[in-house]
Structure 1
Amino acid sequence: MTIGFSSRATRSACVLCVAGLLTLMPAAAAARMVRPDPGAPGGPRATAPQPSLLYRSGTQVRLRPGAPEVPDVSALAWVVADAGSGEVLAAHDAHRPLPPASTLKTLFALTVLPVLPGGISHRVSTEELSGIGPGSSLVGVVEGRTYRVSDLWNGVFLNSGNDAVHVLASLVGGWDTAAARMQAEARALGARDTHVRSPDGYDAPGQVSSAYDLAVFGRAGLRNPDFARYCARIDAMFPDGDGDSYGIMNTNRLLTGADGVEPYPGLIGIKNGYTSSAGNTLVAAARRDGRTLVVTVMNPQEGDGYAVYEEARSLLDWGFDAAGRVDPVGSLEPEDTRPRPGPHAPPAHATATATTTAEPAPDEPGWQGTGAILGTAGLGAGVMALALRLKAGRAERG
């Protein structure tokens, strides 16, 4: 007697077979995942981002094979970062609290520029020029004279004029209000080392920032077209007290090439500073081959007053040379805006890469492992079909 089984039994066996395959296919796909190659160019890294090293003391860098060594600089703190991605390529005591000097004017500009259009005209009062610290850098604002806001911003960015800062601060509610707004802006940007006491950067008890925070301010400034235009300007005309004007020049020698400092190719400015407590400080940005780097240098301990420019130069050179050959040691992005690691998270950094290969690694199943899984699924389906046939036969013999 021929043993057969019904079309219903056939359909049931097929359904179970397909269900088994669908259950096992994700495992097969997972088995085919390719091991990332940290040194290969071109794609996102498959592994989770490495932890930040920026709160550690000393120099922090993650060099890949063949990457250039970080230059030896004497600054108390420094940072080299990619302005586009926010990745920190290397740093030294990035979060060390230090007096910022006039580099704090970057935060002042970030806070006040958006609320003061450059075309506004303002007549300066005596009160607005009171309280300027002795020895402050000045652009030459005169009481009773009317200035455009754009003139005052030229005085801030080019001549580091504390008198211009005092007048602009008065237009947003006064000195203390400006300081409070700057503090809030710093926190919004994720810059938590900065404590503002004097908006112009003049030395004040408790006023500190860090190489990390200043790099955050510099990067944010480049995204503001007005900030980017002012910080890149080499010279301008400034109104005097007699209805005429005179020329002023940017004091960032790495931009202008003044005083024997060779200008840096591709430099797009930002801000320098000096006080007796802070020493020389600098936030600089440069662009090369479609890539923009931001560098902070705080208080070099060797060389003359221009050492800050030469140390920034060496760090910029290193950063461009190391492109794609280092893994980041942290990020300038605020913590709450960074991508979370996980199966659907976007790539954490563009310089880390992964590649595909034709042959699987010895300890990975690859296509052979996938075939074994599928074979097992087929065997299970066959066993199920045989069981159904036997059951049908028993029913017929009943």
Structure 2
Amino acid sequence: MKRRLRWIIFVLCGSLCVCQAQSTPSNDDQTDAVVRPTGVHKRKHTTTKGSRAHKRAADSSDEDKTPEPALAPAVPTQPSDPNRVPNTRANSVMVVDARTGQILYEKNADQPRPAASTQKLLTALVVADTGYLDRQVAVEPIDTLAEPVKLNIRPGETYQRIDLLRALLVKSPNDVARCLARDNAGSVDAFAEKMNAKAQQLGATHSHFLNPNGLPIPGQYSTARDLAIIARAAYANPTIRSIVCLPQLVFRYASGRTRELENTNKVLKRLPYCNGMKTGYTEAAGHCLIASGSRPGRDVIVVVLGDTKSGVWADAASLLSWGLWL
């Protein structure tokens, strides 16, 4: 009897152990269930890698595009050592106090060089000085004979001077520069004479301008020092100052079509204290930038000429930071 009871108990215990083993996974099974990715997870993981690789490729080939405002500053808000001037790759450099004109730093500042589109600040000064910016300008065929950057305004269309001036300083179209020059002085040559007269009046006496857009032409040149003088005058002009700080601008064509123009100045979107000025590039001039910035009690203008494609932004940004915290 006792043997039979023991046998029954043994059978019952064995059955319970088998049931428990089938219903509860082992530690290895649990590990597989948590750690081993399913096919869906693998595909998701692979897609993420691909997306990141695609983004890196897009970023590396996107140097010509203006960065979004969300980009982090290119340099720290304050320089690590305000007493040391940043190293720069530019051929000519000028850093000045925008209010007093005090020279904070210079490098080959009197070397004659092509200024490219940075000289459009002088174009803007001549146009702004003439006034009547609400008047209409009729585009003529000769205005459109410009390359390579154009807004593609068409003969017969009419625009307010102020709208063309905004487009000129934000996006730098060469057809707009010609249109404003011809409207202002009757011809590009006559306008160039007004540019030179204005430069002389300001004290920029080592420059010679032959067109309003900065496209290469023999005999046209400026210096970092002269451009700093011109930039100070532009910085003091309320109309120009209110335009060069714009990250983007919506331009309305005569047809009613609109186009968003991104500011060509990348430093404007990278540094919170940069408040504008003007870019420039031609093969002869290299990459050029006039950048301005302010903080309480300090306004600084930086001129960088003959720099590299990537170096111009880093050099201008580091010099601007250094000058503001000097």
Answer whether TM exceeds 0.5 for this pair. Answer: yes
Contact map agreement 2:118 2:279 (CA 8 A) in 1: yes
The one of 167, 192, 214 equivalent to 1:201 is 214
User: Residue 368 of structure 1 aligns with which residue?
Assistant: none
Runs of at least 4 residues of structure 1 off by over 3 A? none
Between the aligned partners of 1:245 and 1:321, the Cα distance in structure 2 is 40
* Structure richer in helix, relative to its length: 2
Structure 2 unaligned residues grouped into runs of 5+: 1-80
Between the aligned partners of 1:185 and 1:90, the Cα distance in structure 2 is 25
Cα distance, 1:162 vs. partner?
0.7
Contact map agreement 1:102 1:160 (CA 8 A) in 2: yes
Cα distance, 1:123 vs. partner?
2.2
Cα distance, 1:241 vs. partner?
5.2
Between the aligned partners of 1:312 and 1:212, the Cα distance in structure 2 is 15
Q: Deviations over 1:99-130 (max 9, x none)?
A: 00000101111112121422111221213323
Between the aligned partners of 2:274 and 2:152, the Cα distance in structure 1 is 27
The one of 266, 272, 282 equivalent to 1:253 is 266
User: Residue 118 of structure 1 aligns with which residue?
Assistant: 133
Between the aligned partners of 2:159 and 2:174, the Cα distance in structure 1 is 15
The one of 128, 142, 158 equivalent to 1:146 is 158
Q: Deviations over 1:243-295 (max 9, x none)?
A: 22221111111113xxxxxx112111010010111011010100012210000
| 3-state SS of paired residue (2:284) | coil
Contact map agreement 1:112 1:172 (CA 8 A) in 2: yes
User: Residue 391 of structure 1 aligns with which residue?
Assistant: none
The one of 97, 101, 107 equivalent to 1:86 is 101
Q: Deviations over 1:288-346 (max 9, x none)?
A: 12210000001125xxx132111011111221232xxxxxxxxxxxxxxxxxxxxxxxx
1:2-13 correspondence runs (5 A): none
Cα distance, 1:193 vs. partner?
1.7
User: Residue 34 of structure 2 aligns with which residue?
Assistant: none
| 3-state SS of paired residue (1:183) | helix
Percent identity of paired positions between Structure 1 and Structure 2 = 33
Between the aligned partners of 1:292 and 1:221, the Cα distance in structure 2 is 13
Between the aligned partners of 2:323 and 2:197, the Cα distance in structure 1 is 31
The one of 194, 201, 206 equivalent to 1:181 is 194
1:207-246 correspondence runs (5 A): 207-240=220-253, 242-246=255-259
The one of 168, 171, 175 equivalent to 2:183 is 171
User: Residue 21 of structure 2 aligns with which residue?
Assistant: none
Between the aligned partners of 1:188 and 1:314, the Cα distance in structure 2 is 31
Contact map agreement 2:144 2:152 (CA 8 A) in 1: no
| 3-state SS of paired residue (1:199) | coil
User: Residue 325 of structure 2 aligns with which residue?
Assistant: 321
| Structure 2 counterpart of 1:288, one-letter code | R
Cα distance, 1:145 vs. partner?
1.3
Contact map agreement 2:159 2:254 (CA 8 A) in 1: no
The one of 279, 283, 286 equivalent to 2:286 is 279
CA-atom RMSD, angstroms? 1.5
| 3-state SS of paired residue (1:299) | strand
Contact map agreement 1:138 1:159 (CA 8 A) in 2: no
Contact map agreement 2:207 2:220 (CA 8 A) in 1: yes
Greater relative CO (CA pairs within 8 A, separation 6+): 1
The one of 124, 128, 153 equivalent to 1:109 is 124
Structure 1 unaligned residues grouped into runs of 5+: 1-65, 257-262, 323-398
Contact map agreement 2:294 2:324 (CA 8 A) in 1: no
| Structure 1 counterpart of 2:238, one-letter code | P
Cα distance, 1:237 vs. partner?
1.6
